[in-house]
Amino acid sequence: MQVKIKRIDKSLPLPEYQTPGSVAFDFYSRIDAVIPPRGAMLLPTNFIFETPAGFMLSIVPRSSLFKKKGLKMPNSVGVIDQDYCGEKDECGLYMENATDHDVEIKKGERLCQGIFIKIDKAEWNEVDQITDKNRGGWGSTG
């Protein structure tokens, strides 16, 4: 799949898949930053993508982010729409510091991962009854 991408700071690399089996590429911070205890900050990623038709771009935290840095994404996942691709539409990483001390971020430090996911748009078919089956509601499987 070919994806158009613009880097704001060309001294930083294009996104990379770290291993041949990686399904996600890394996002990093374009700037040095310090996130205060229990604070949050939007970090620029250096990338503007033109997500191909039929796909969405999802941004998720790296599995080691919380363990190594005490950082988390308060919204858990980022969804980048196909039409978020203008000259001022740099992807950002909203990071929350869950620790009681400053967390330092270095320019180029890998924080999150991006995954292109094939999508379809729903066409609604409104009905009066869905089915006679009932699983039992919220949390019914334990």
Cα separation of 23 and 127, whole Å?
38
> What Å distances lie between residue 4 and 11, 20, 114, CA to CA?
18, 21, 15
Q: Is the pLDDT of residue 136 over 80?
A: no
Q: What local confidence, expressed as pLDDT, does residue 134 receive?
A: 72
Tokens of 28: 């990093």
Tokens of 117: 């996911």
Q: What is the pLDDT of residues 64-90, one digit of tens each?
A: 999 999 999 998 899 999 999 999 999
Distance CA 9, CA 45 (A): 10
pTM of the model: 0.85
Please give the structure tokens belonging to residue 20.
């041949």
Beta pairing, strands 71-72 & 4-7: unpaired
Note the pLDDT tens digit of each residue in 32-48.
999 999 999 999 999 99
The domains found in the chain, sorted by start residue, are 4-9+18-118 (2.70.40.10)
